[in-house]
Chain A
Amino acid sequence: MFVYADNAATMPLSPAALSAMRPFLEENYGNASSIYSVARDARRALEDARRTIAGALGAAPEEIYFTAGGTEADNWALVGACEAKRNQGGQGGQRDRGGRGAQDGRHMIVSAIEHHAVLHTAQHLQKQGFELTVLPVDKLGRVAASQVQEALRPDTVLVSCMTANNEVGTIQPIEEIGRLCHASGVWFHTDAVQAIGHIPLDLSSLPVDMLSLSGHKFGGPKGIGALFLRRGVRLPPLLHGGGHERGLRSGTENVAGAVGMAAALRESTLGMAEDIRRTSAMRDRLIAALSAIPYAFLTGDPENRLPGNASFVFACVEGESLVLNLDMAGVCASSGSACSSGSLDPSHVLLALGLPHEVAHGSLRLTISGDTTPEQVDYLISQVIAAVARGRAMSPLWDAAAQKPIQ
Chain B
Amino acid sequence: MYTDKVMDHFANPRNVGEVADANAVGQVGNPKCGDIMKMTMRIVDEVIEDVKFKTFGCGAAVATSSMATELVKGKSITEALMLSNKAVAEALDGLPPVKMHCSVLAEEAIKSAIADYYRRQGIDPTPIVGCDADCAHCH
Contacts and interface: CB of A to CB of B under 8 A. Distances in A.
- For chain A, the bracket of interface size reads 20 to 34
A321 B13 CA distance: 12
B11 A358 contact: no
A204 interface: no
Contacts of B7: 324
Interface string B21-32: 000000100011
B2 to A, nearest CB: 8
B116 to A, nearest CB: 14
Interface in B47-64: 53-62
Contacts of A317: 56
Interface stretch (B35-43, B76-84, B117-125): B35-43
A321 B35 CA distance: 11
A358 B33 CA distance: 7
A337 B34 CA distance: 8
Contacts, number: 71
A396 B27 contact: yes
Interface stretch (A74-82, A299-307, A338-346): A338-346
B31 A357 contact: yes
Given A342-B98, A357-B31, A358-B31, A321 B36 contact: no
Interface residues of B, number: 27
Contacts of A328: 11
B33 A395 contact: no
A391 B56 CA distance: 8
Nearest to A358: B31
B44 to A, nearest CB: 24
A396 B32 contact: no
Task: Classify the secondary structure of B's interface with A.
Answer: mixed
A320 B36 CA distance: 14
Given A328-B11, A338-B33, A358-B32, A394 B54 contact: yes
A9 to B, nearest CB: 16
Interface in A352-384: 356-358, 361
Nearest to A397: B56
B27 A318 contact: no
A337 B33 contact: no
B59 A321 contact: yes
Most chain B CB inside 10 Å of its own CB: which residue of A321, A343, A346, A358: A321
Contacts of A199: none
17 contacts: A316-B56, A318-B57, A321-B58, A321-B61, A339-B35, A339-B57, A339-B60, A342-B98, A344-B33, A357-B33, A393-B16, A394-B13, A394-B16, A394-B53, A395-B55, A396-B36, A396-B56
Interface of A: 316-318, 320-321, 324, 328, 337-340, 342-344, 346, 356-358, 361, 391, 393-398
Interface of B: 7, 10-11, 13, 16-17, 27, 31-38, 53-62, 98-99
Given A396-B37, A396-B55, 8 more contacts: A317-B56, A318-B56, A318-B58, A321-B57, A328-B11, A358-B34, A394-B53, A397-B56
